[in-house]
Amino acid sequence: MAGIGFRLQKLLTGDDFTSSVKAFGFSALITSGPFIITVALVLFVQYVSSGNLTERGIEYLQALITYSYAFSLITVGFSYLVLTRYVADEYYRGHVTSFAAVFFSAYTIALSCWGIPVFLFFSGLSVGWGMKLCATVLYMSAVGMWLAMIFLSAAQNYWLVSRSFLIGLAVSLGASYGLGKAHGLEGYFAGFVAGQVVVLFCLVSAILKEFGYWEPRDHNWMGYYRAYPRLMGIGFFYNLGIWIDKILFWISPQGEWLDPRLRYSPIYDTPMFIAYLTILPALVYFFLLVETDFFFKYQAYYAALQQQEGLTVLERRRKAIVASLRMNLGRVLVVQGIVTLAALLAAPFLIRLAALSPIHLSVLRIGIYSAFMQVGCLICLNILLYFDHQKEALWVAATFCLLNAVFTEATLKLGLFAYGYGFGLASLVALVMALYFLNTRLERLHFWTFTRQPFPEPVLILDDEELDEAGESPAEPPVESPGGSGEPPSAAPSAA
């Protein structure tokens, strides 16, 4: 992802307003990530369908969409960062012709592992086979979307990504409205799913257009599971972590049955989704300003290292990284602080806008606080990954996931006033942990950068016969140091 921030800075250097707005939109798109898309879609459906469906129908529709997307995020979580790392590495190596094959490989494997369990889950629904199939198809297209976005972001082709989503959205809107009028709930759902399938097709055709289609499958990326098992863990725990509190609410007594297979929590779900959307400004701001400014400092450090500068220069560059991070995180804090404050003040209004009852107000307020912590945690997690501190990122993600489960379970016992604090507290602890790691690791940036370099592997020479005569060199020459051979070892971790 390191390259993405770099590209954004270029977009911003032409400082006319439109390009800047474009950059905002794009960067929001990349970074807000799959979860925000999910949340936005769920709220969108609720808004659009509110006039035409019964309340029960809306809830059913929402729950189906939420389940499909939650399954897709958690199951793709295993591969998400691993694949991102592979794609980023291959992209910088210039090997893009295999991308379509890698995408199909990853997609096939994800579906063959998870498709059947998910289908079995949905097949227990009390609705017709049309709905069951639609739910499974929605899951399948969501998985495809998340995977496809990895490839298109690597190529920095944000326009194709946004266009695909816009087209899909339009189709969803039109089809669900049209079909919904004629067939009610089933029509709505089928229309919505059709739109998402269109998104998937647009993204896939964008991949084929961008990289070509040269070979049927390429399973080489799976070697990265072995090479980066921690990325697998980070992706899984983080994605499970942001869902675990919702899942616990569903299965708790607070949850209600919509169907023999579907539970939802009317008190918790929608306010938390709305609250989550408030982190959008901070994320955009971070990836636009912080990442671009910070990224130059980051690059300057590794450039100094490769240009064989002394320790004083390296130390200066390290301090520049720290200063840049401090300043920019401070700015994000201020911006998000303002947004959060405004959201808190506007909470009653938001409740009315979303047609919720006043009882949701406290959950929404706590949700807004929690989202504030969550965005901090997410940002720090990202920075840790820039410096390739996978172990630390894994700790943060796993702690977040575990604490979210424990604390949410506790708040369920405490009662309504505490709802939402579990997610917030878990995010806060994870944030403090991430900040601690970030601080100590950056304090000793040189140590971590150098010490993690692997020792050179032996180069086996089959014929080592030496023609030395009596009295000539009996010794092997010292092994060539990779640092001195004019081609310094790549010390910069190519961040996922």
Partner 1 sequence: MTDVCLILEGTYPFVAGGVSTWIHQLITAMPDIRFSIMSVSPFPNPYREYKYKIPGNVFDIQDVYLHDAKTMGKRSDRKRVRRAVENVESVLDRLLDGQWDAFVDALPALRDEATRVSLADAFESEEAWDLLTRLYNRHAGEVSFLDYFWTFRSIFLPLANTMRVPVPPARLYHVVSTGYAGLIASIAKRTQDAGMLLTEHGVYTHERLLEISQATWIYTPQKERFRVQQELSYFKRVWLGFFDMMGRLTYDNADRIVTLYEGNKLKQIAAGADPGKITIIPNGIDVDHYRSIKRKPRSARRKAVGFIGRIVSIKDVKTFLHAAKIVLKTLPETEFFLLGPTNEEPDYYQECRELTRSIGVERVCRFLGKVDLKEWYAKLDVVVLTSLSEAQPYVILEANAVGIPAIATDVGACREMLEGVDEEDRVLGASGLLTGVSNSADTARAIVRVLTDPDLWRSMSEAGRTRAVESYDQTDLISKYLNIYEQMMR
Q: Which residues bind partner 1 (CB under 8 A)?
A: 305-306, 308-314, 444, 446-447, 450-451, 453, 455-456, 458, 460, 462, 464-485, 488-489, 491
Q: Is 264 helix (H, G, I), strand (E, B) or coil?
A: strand
Nearer to partner 1, 20 or 494 (CB): 494
- Give the Cα separation of 28 and 161 in Å (integer): 12
Q: How far is the CB of 436 from partner 1 (least distance, A)?
A: 16
With 0-12 CB in 10 A as exposed, 13-18 as middle and 19+ as buried, what is 476?
exposed
Identity of residue 41: L
What CA–CA distances, in Å, run from 12 to 26, 217, 288, 307, 329?
12, 38, 9, 28, 20
- By beta-carbon proximity to partner 1, the closer residue of 112 and 312 is 312
Structure tokens at 187: 């029509």
Cβ within 8 Å of residue 458, ≥6 positions away: none
Distance CA 3, CA 257 (A): 46
Query: Which C-beta is closer to partner 1: that of 297 or that of 365?
Result: 297
Q: How far is the CB of 472 from partner 1 (least distance, A)?
A: 5
C-beta of 470: minimal distance to partner 1 in Å? 4
**Residue number with CB closer to partner 1 (253 or 474):** 474
Contacts of 169 (CB under 8 A, 6+ apart): 44, 195, 199
18 or 481: CB nearest partner 1: 481
Smallest gap from residue 227 Cβ to partner 1 (A): 18
Token duo for residue 246: 């919702």
Shortest separation between residue 384's beta carbon and partner 1, angstroms: 18
User: What is d(CA 183, CA 134) in angstroms, rounded to the nearest whole number?
Assistant: 14
Report which DSSP code applies to 417. G
| Least separation in angstroms between CB 395 and partner 1 | 18
Residues 6 or more apart from 342 whose CB is under 8 A from it? none
Minimal distance, residue 383 CB to partner 1, in Å:
21
Instruction: State which amino acid sits at residue 106.
Output: A
Q: Which is closer to partner 1, CB of 216 or CB of 454?
A: 454
Single-letter amino acid code for the residue at 327: M
- The Cα 190–Cα 45 span in angstroms is 12
What would the DSSP string read from start to end of 352-365?
HHTT--GGGHHHHH
How far is 119 from 249, CA to CA, in rounded Å? Answer: 23
Structure tokens at 223: 């070697």
Least Å from the CB of residue 317 to partner 1: 11
CA dist., res. 239 & res. 241, Å (int):
5
Q: Which is nearer to partner 1, 182 or 311 (CB)?
A: 311
What's the min distance (Å) between Cβ of 322 and partner 1? Answer: 17
Measured CA angle at 172 (ends 120, 257), to 5 deg: 40
Indicate left, alpha or beta for 212 from its phi (over 0: left) and psi (-120 to 50: alpha).
left
- Cβ of residue 325: shortest distance to partner 1, in angstroms? 21
For partner 1, the closer CB: 223 or 488? 488
Which of 359, 478, 356, 445 lies closest to 62 in space, CA to CA?
Answer: 356
Question: Residue 182 or 460: which CB sits closer to partner 1?
Answer: 460
| Identity of the residue, 33 or 489, whose beta carbon is nearer to partner 1 in the bound complex | 489
